[in-house]
A = this chain, B = another copy of it.
Amino acid sequence: MKMTIKDIARLADVSTATVSKVLNGKDEKISDRTRNRIFALVEEYNYVPNRIASSLVTKKTKTLGLIIPNIANPFFPEIARGAEDLANERGYNLILCNTDDNLEKEESYIDMLEEKMVDGIIFTASSQRKDKLDRLSKVSVPVITVDREVVGLATQGKIVVDNVKGAYDAVNYLIESGYEQIVHVTGPMSSKPARDRLEGLKKALEENGLIFNEATVYSGEFKSEWGYEAVKQIFKNKVEIDALFCGNDLIAMGALKALRELNLDVPNDIGLVGFDDIYMAQMLEPELTTVSQPNYEMGYQSAEMLIDMIENKRKEAKPIILDTKLIIRRSTKKR
């Protein structure tokens, strides 16, 4: 039978208030005798406090929502793990929500999370269109946006990576290595990271006196299938291209597969660079040169920022911009 605080109180011959104080460590003025008696009873009867009941009065659930497009996408597990680790350290739990980049699912999860009275939400948005996301601006708990920021959502916390610089570094490195005809295969331009990475690419080209050509950008999805398809498409016609800068590692993986089928050697015929440094990147043959994103760190810091906001340890949430790092492996070489 399930024990309640009342049962323990009765058995210990004290009031529920006393038990509550002891259990919550607010027991400076409780005698050791009763404290010990209570703990013994709790142990003996295997009493488990009902946090639902206490949440109802404290208005804190110690639960956060984590809204991401898809945990099965290798980009997100590290973020989730980082967030969960920090949350756990601070005594919070995480509710996992997969949206498939679908606005309706996003809104429905936000509703559920609010109903369950989560203390805050970590959110990787599918869309940048503020108007579509006005549901988000009505949320009554703190929200941290991670990776893909929601433009126009001013009041909330934000953790992003410097995608412009990351792409700039990568392309710069390609050019320095002697690659000259760089094609960019990337995700949808509705996504901020895709736009930022494109911007970094342009900047690097310009600074090196190369002209940017719209036609060298293949925008599709952040998936390996798209990388594969794009490469097949690109090489259907005779083209002059010696390097592929991919919007993320999944695209690069698909591209690599297609290049192999086309009997093109990486890095000798074509230099290949990805973005993200997912675990897989180092397992490819050749190992993939890529731009590493601190995913675990992003998750960890987003949870930290969020909990700080919840507990008022941080008044104003200024955006955190994390640095990327170019990881040079064997899919590129000096020529």
Contact = CB atoms under 8 A, between A and B. Distances in A.
Contact of A283 (B53, B63, B280): B280
A116 interface: yes
Contacts of A90: none
Interface in A55-97: 55-56, 61, 63, 66, 70-74, 76-78, 80-81, 84-85, 88, 93-97
A256 B61 CA distance: 47
A315 interface: no
A93 B112 contact: yes
A87 to B, nearest CB: 9
So how many copies of this chain end up in the complex?
Answer: 2
B77 A81 contact: no
Contacts of A51: 115-117
Given A50-B117, A74-B279, A279-B74, A96 B98 contact: no
A131 interface: no
Contacts of A233: none
A85 B112 CA distance: 15
A142 to B, nearest CB: 15
A222 B269 CA distance: 36
B63 A72 contact: no
A98 B81 contact: yes
B71 A61 contact: no
A interface, how many residues as a size bin?
35 or more
A46 interface: yes
Interface string A252-284: 010011001000000000000000000110011
Nearest to A283: B253
A284 B84 CA distance: 30
A7 interface: no
Interface string A37-57: 000000000101111110110
A63 B103 CA distance: 22
A101 interface: no
A313 interface: no
A59 B52 CA distance: 9
A2 interface: yes
Contacts of A94: 95-96
Given A52-B61, A96-B96, A115-B51, A81 B72 contact: yes
Interface in A93-125: 93-98, 111-112, 114-117
Given A52-B117, A116-B51, A140-B2, A63 B280 contact: no
Given A48-B115, A80-B96, 8 more contacts: A51-B116, A52-B117, A53-B56, A74-B74, A224-B283, A257-B283, A280-B280, A284-B284
Interface of A: 2, 46, 48-53, 55-56, 61, 63, 66, 70-74, 76-78, 80-81, 84-85, 88, 93-98, 111-112, 114-117, 138, 140, 224, 253, 256-257, 260, 279-280, 283-285, 296
